[in-house]
Structure 1
């Protein structure tokens, strides 16, 4: 019997991003490793970031996004931000929720450059390796 299309989109989703990522997906073990590394680096982030002013992209999310860009050979920040907008696996890995707004690519690039200007990114990638 032929199935019928349902053109009505659901208003709510009852499945979390965590449930959508397969239990045996390779990014799960990498995410656990990365989360541990970032937790150990939290004091470094606190030292480098001001406690006043407008909030930036969280450095944890920024570094996870850069890792996604490297692992999946995404050529530009524009493509990375686009992928983060609709790829649920990438959203989960970076730490964005289903309804979280994705950053503007220029804001991402500015924050990335600021972070790469310090030794924090080097330390992070060294620890991941």
Structure 2
């Protein structure tokens, strides 16, 4: 029997945790469990001013973005940003929600 969806649910609002949408066996979950990225703050603290300038992008986020690019074979940072914007697992890994703006690719330039 041929079925046709009568209702379009693209605009349906649902309350869901981002964590629920990332499969338990996804590579980014395994990396998050295996590596404590807090050591990065100690490595870069001398390169940031504590009392002037504009707020920076979290250095752990920047490292994780490059890691996504490398691990998943994405050829450019511009493409990596596009992938992060649409991939729930990548957003989860860098700690960004659905509505947060991903850093611009030129941040790496």
Verify same fold: TM over 0.5.
Answer: yes
Q: Given the superposition, is the C-alpha separation of residues 20 and 104 from structure 1 closer, same or farther in structure 2, using an over 3 Å criterion?
A: same
The aligned residue for residue 48 of structure 2 is: 49
- What are the within-5 Å matches in structure 2 for residues 11-90 of structure 1? 12-34=13-35, 36=36, 38-51=37-50, 52-90=52-90
Of residues 11, 23, 27 in structure 2, which corresponds to 1:9? 11
Q: Give the Cα separation in 1 of the matches to 2:81 and 2:98.
A: 14
**Unmatched runs of 5 consecutive residues or more in structure 2:** none
Q: Given the superposition, is the C-alpha separation of residues 85 and 9 from structure 1 closer, same or farther in structure 2, using an over 3 Å criterion?
A: same
User: What is the Cα deviation at residue 61 of structure 1?
Assistant: 0.3
RMSD value, Cα: 1.9
Q: Could you say what secondary structure the match of 2:90 adopts?
A: helix
- 1:59-81 alpha-carbon deviations (Å, 9 max, x no partner): 10000000000001111111011
Q: Give the Cα separation in 1 of the matches to 2:31 and 2:80.
A: 19
The answer to whether the 8 Å contact 2:85/2:91 transfers is yes
TM-score, structure 1 length as denominator?
0.72
User: What is the Cα deviation at residue 22 of structure 1?
Assistant: 1.2
The aligned residue for residue 104 of structure 2 is: 104
User: What is the Cα deviation at residue 98 of structure 1?
Assistant: 1.2
